[in-house]
Amino acid sequence: MTTPANIHSNIPTTAAAIADGVRSGALKAVDVLEAHLAQIAAREGDIHAFNLVTADEARAAAARVDADVAAGRDPGVLAGVPIALKDNMCTRGIPTTCSSKILEGWRPPYDATVVQRLAAAGAVAIGKTNLDEFAMGSSTENSAFGVTFNPRDTSRVSGGSSGGSAAAVAAGFSPISIGSDTGGSIRQPAALCGVVGVKPTYGTVSRYGLVAYASSLDQMGPFSIDVRDSALVLEAISGHDPMDSTSIPQAPLSLQHVLSQGVEGLRVGRITDMPSGADPDVTARLEAAFDALKAAGAKIVDVEMPSMKYALTAYYLIAPAEASSNLARYDGVRYGLRVNTTDTNAMYSATRTAGFGEEVKRRIMLGTYALSAGYYDAYYGKALKVRRLISDDFARAYTKADVLLTPTSPIVAFPVGEKSDDPLAMYLCDIYTIPTNLAGHPAMSVPFGTGAHGLPVGVQILAPTLGEQVMFKVAASLERSMIAAGGAK
Ligand code: GLN
């Protein structure tokens, strides 16, 4: 399998190595940036990871980092690391489109907390990545600005909705990118593109400045080439933020020190009644992951999750319900697009008709229906009860197991166009990622070899609330076993 390694001849591949080099003065942030911009120039035409590359701003930021080092100031733990941002996080003065026509031309007046924290740590933002419109989708085919193709095979999708962020890391455009995950949008594209992707515990990373899709589920998190880089980035972006009322009042996560600790004695749960549907090549890699953890000293235990089979249904009521409310703000008055007509009501309708794509309209209608008087109890109310049952299942499972292991995606990256006319087939891509969002727990995908057509397969590690440390221990162990087996990271 090709990895982004060796792409930039004398520039290290990982964020950790780049930051070490820049902080010590051995590397120049401007050279690191130019190497990545060259890679973008070479491959972006085939991949379309970005809605916008902010080369000028990036060059200025990299020069500031180098000036800091020259002046003896420490630019921070991500010094000179190029980072790509999903185009649904606010960047001051820089277009933020959510890959929707309705926001075209809108420039936010402020930076998201994550964007501020990355800059404060010395990272260099290089652009805004493509996504399914408003993060609704699993393939980045729902973008108003075109598909993002998978760098491992450009006839296939990159996954979604953070497909541009996953593709950017897999193609060597940046060692790190940031995505958002409401039902799997970091983990699933990470799996399909063969990179690491982390959805932290709800409330761990501030949502301030993340354009809302379904606010009770949305979380931001990193993509990276290896496990350590995701740990490094999470340490920099997590921690309490008074600007987000759902932010947990706690210190930033501390993760890098656990990576070498091993999994001896840890209990790894196998869900015995997990919804079936994963392809055999994916299941085979999951079994290999269980074997690898067992060989590293973990204990495999069986757990039951009887309500898990209802998670997808509950999610596709709760997420559209919240979306229908969140997206009411795009009215032609406050943001982006306005289609002028004779009166205000006609303007709302013409603007929303022209501005939103098909999938977004489908979700708004589904959500409005589920919330309407007379249907609320039967649909939205019932979905909330299922959400509770799923949390209860997890609570029971975590009395027996420290982490759970599942496939990330039931299938490897599929050909562009294969599912675009079948929303239900598309929704099934998230069958293993959605339950954790409903519970608010952390989960991550690590590349674990290849399946059909030599395409990457990701294994998902799930942990209880604030269980990031144990989750990363397991991730690091799986990564070590892949390296020992001679596989690509
Ligand atoms: N694919 C799921 C959806 O369409 C999840 C998206 C996400 O996590 N943003 O809603």
Q: Are 15 and 78 in contact (CB under 8 A)?
A: yes
Q: Does residue 319's CB lie within 6 angstroms of at least one atom of ligand 1?
A: yes
Active site residue 155: no
Query: What tokens were used for 295?
Result: 């060989």
Distance (Å) from CA 430 to ligand 1 centroid: 7
pLDDT at position 489: 41
Q: How many CB atoms lie within 10 A of CB 268?
A: 23
Tell me which of 100, 138, 158, 161 is the catalytic residue. Answer: 161
Distance (Å) from CA 71 to ligand 1 centroid: 45
Q: Does residue 161's CB lie within 6 angstroms of at least one atom of ligand 1?
A: yes
Ligand 1 pocket test, candidate residues 133, 161, 211, 215, most atoms within 8 A of CB: 161
Ligand 1 pocket test, candidate residues 185, 431, 438, most atoms within 8 A of CB: 185
pLDDT at position 277: 87
Q: How far is it, in rounded angstroms, from Cα 333 to Cα 339?
A: 10
Nearest-atom index, ligand 1, CA of 437: 8
Tell the burial category of 72 from Cβ atoms under 10 Å away from its Cβ (0-12, 13-18, 19+).
exposed
What is the residue whose two structure tokens read 């993060």? Answer: 135
Q: Does residue 183's CB lie within 6 angstroms of at least one atom of ligand 1?
A: yes
Buried-state track 374-410, b at ≥16 Cβ within 10 A, e below 16: eeeeebbebbeebbebbbebbeebbeebbbbbbbbbb
Helical (H) or strand (E) element with 157: strand 153-157
pLDDT at position 352: 97
Active site residue 139: no
Instruction: Give the list of residues 6+ apart from residue 324 with CB closer than 8 angstroms, or none.
Output: 363, 364, 365, 366, 367, 368, 371
pLDDT at position 7: 62
Nearest-atom index, ligand 1, CA of 186: 8
Q: Does residue 322's CB lie within 6 angstroms of at least one atom of ligand 1?
A: no
End-to-end Cα distance, the chain: 9
pLDDT at position 162: 98
Question: Whose alpha carbon is nearest atom 5 of ligand 1?
Answer: 183
Q: Does residue 332's CB lie within 6 angstroms of at least one atom of ligand 1?
A: no
Indicate the domain borders of the chain: 309-383
Q: Please name the residue ranges forming H helices in 304-343.
A: 311-326
* DSSP classification of residue 90: -
Distance (Å) from CA 135 to ligand 1 centroid: 6
Nearest-atom index, ligand 1, CA of 426: 1
Does the predicted model carry a pTM greater than 0.85?
Answer: yes
pLDDT at position 487: 65
Active site residue 185: yes
Nearest-atom index, ligand 1, CA of 429: 1
Tell me which of 138, 185, 206, 230 is the catalytic residue. Answer: 185
Q: What is the mean pLDDT of each run of 10 residues along the chain (489 residues)?
A: 56 97 97 98 98 98 98 98 98 98 95 98 98 98 98 98 98 98 98 98 98 98 98 98 98 98 98 93 98 98 97 97 97 92 94 97 96 92 97 98 98 97 93 98 98 97 98 98 78
pLDDT at position 105: 87
Distance (Å) from CA 53 to ligand 1 centroid: 24
